[in-house]
Structure 1
């Protein structure tokens, strides 16, 4: 068994045991921190499909995170009875059901990724980065101007949505739900990268001309990957809104897009558990160093600089040693 596999297993075991320990010692805040790490890992896992396999450096992935969050927030807002969802005298059934909200968040985020991808993938390199950034800023300022749903102040959600058979208000149960979704996405990502689509997408990143020579369209492959990536990140946004019971335009900000990318780079670009390692490290640093100084990002920057210069495979690649060289 490789060192990377052992590290991944230890990381997953830690995600299982730490919340249980927190529950037994009556430390609900630790469970909340772990839930935040898992949701951020889910968002980063979505980006890792586009970035790690497809080589698409997107500075606009917060768009899909924000769309997922607002999809959840808007449905919850109307389910709370403030205003009818439509002019009809009823609220659509199921607007407080998590599976319904997840489906809406995934579909809307995927459609947004399709439109953005069709326009952005006409360019490459720095131009692609700037177009995705421009879309992020467009959605950010639209959310600020959307006064019906809080505008710049955001929108509070007073109740957490429901999941059949679970008490989602119990921190440990909501955490278990988020962790289960992360595991499903990681299994999906593992199968995707080994499937013919994943192998073709990797080839499109490295040698697109050869891919065209065998009759495959690199742009179409990258577009599909971008849509899948956006859908997963949108799901993470819906969970994040449910965790905080609040949505705001900052979910669309370019700073948050950069934060998601930092998680992937920190953990290891293209590594299956890279987003998980990056998210856990980020949340741990935020909690520990944030309690010491408000300028804790300085230390994060130094760590990220060290990773980029001396551990190109991220934390996961550093643990794996020479096994990281194939990236």
Structure 2
């Protein structure tokens, strides 16, 4: 998948189709967000319905700092990560006191609180959002004005996030997290308290998702509260489920599949969401493990 993505600028240049670059960047940005959600959903069994709030926090970090004359990308990234981690720590400490449907509803509530807080900020455009005057600078130079530079920076970040999360879930920490997902009572019985592991995972996921917000703001040069709506959180869950929960590679495939399906189906009918919904139902019913599970079966990776 990474190799295919790396070749997109080459194909876009050869065909003269700049839209390929735009859609590929969008896929990678949401793949970063979906990867972060998979950490809490696929490995921690925490169904967060307010995960898009962290995308919004990352995007607004860019917008607010730019208003004050701070245009450096590294500064935007640091502030976005710290703000998202702080929000995740406070809200996660409360959310993790609940379980099941109550956890889902309280994450939704916190996500909507963040959404309406941004809507109320008239200085940042309120519900209409705010247009950025320029993209972030890199090492003091406006390198991100070039779409190819921005593309490969997003791709590099996606690869780095994938590798780091893969190391995390394969570590002792990750094994405890998976054990908590499978049987929290048994983990307590052998001496592991689930709460600190789950809260740490929740904070890491929020910080990673904020990176998607930073890049989304730079790609479209616009920031709005819609980035953190509950509908966006639902789309992230769909990406993870469609690609395959608890696989890391699955959310990347899921993000690509969902966004490409949106573009393809929208070309056939204005009621394209109906067709998308039917396809998602079929995937859930007949493809165990989503796209990644289907790929394993086709490659013979799950022979009985």
1:45-76 Cα offsets, whole Å, 9 max, x none, are 01011011101000000111111111111111
Contact kept, 8 Å, 2:136 with 2:142, in 1: the verdict is no
**2: distance between equivalents of 1:14 and 1:316?**
17
Q: Which segments of 5 or more consecutive residues in structure 1 lack a partner in the other structure? A: 1-10, 80-94
SS at match of 1:229: helix
- The residue number in structure 2 matching 1:191 is 167
Residue 323 of structure 1: how far off its partner (Å) = 4.1
Task: Give the match's secondary structure for 1:68.
Answer: helix
TM-score calculated relative to the size of structure 1: 0.89
Residue equivalent to 1:8: none
1:99 maps to what in 2? 74
- Contact map agreement 1:313 1:324 (CA 8 A) in 2: no
Query: How far has the Cα of 1:325 moved from its partner?
Result: 9.4
What is the rounded CA distance, in whole Å, between the counterparts of 2:63 and 2:218 in structure 1? 8
Structure 1 segment 1-327 matched on structure 2, within 5 A? 11-79=1-69, 95-164=70-139, 167-321=143-297, 323=301
> C-alpha distance in 1, partners of 2:301/2:34?
22
Give, in whole Å, the separation in 2 of the partners of 1:227 and 1:323: 33
| Paired residues of 2:287 and 2:293 also in contact (CA < 8 A) | yes
- Closer/same/farther in 2, CA of residues 325 and 78 from structure 1, 3 Å limit: farther
Mapped to 2, the partners of 1:222 and 1:323 lie a distance apart of 30
User: Given that residues 317 and 323 in structure 1 are in contact (C-alpha distance below 8 angstroms), is that contact kept between their aligned partners in structure 2?
Assistant: no
CA contact (8 A) 1:50 1:226 kept: yes
User: Secondary structure of the residue that 1:71 maps to in structure 2?
Assistant: helix
Shift of 1:18: 2.1
Query: C-alpha separation between the residues in 1 aligned to 2:144 and 2:14?
Result: 18
Displacement of 1:218 after TM fit?
A: 0.5
Unaligned 5+ segments in structure 2 are none
Q: Is the 8 A contact 1:156 1:246 kept in 2?
A: yes
Give the direction of change, closer, same or farther, for the CA distance of 1:251–1:206 in structure 2 (3 Å limit): same
Distance (whole Å) between structure 2 residues aligned to residue 243 and residue 57 of structure 1: 28
Deviations 1:278-300 (A, max 9, x none): 11111211222122222211121
Q: Deviations over 1:261-289 (max 9, x none)?
A: 11111111111211110111112112221
| Distance in 2 (alpha carbons) for counterparts of 1:223 and 1:233 | 15
> How many residues of Structure 1 are paired with residues of Structure 2 in the alignment?
301
Residues 121, 234 of structure 1: CA spacing in aligned structure 2 closer, same or farther, 3 A cutoff? same
Task: Work out the CA distance in 1 between the residues paired with 2:179 and 2:77.
Answer: 32
Structure 1: how far apart are the matches of 2:37 and 2:93?
A: 17
**In 1, are the aligned partners of 2:188 and 2:194 still within 8 Å (CA)?**
yes
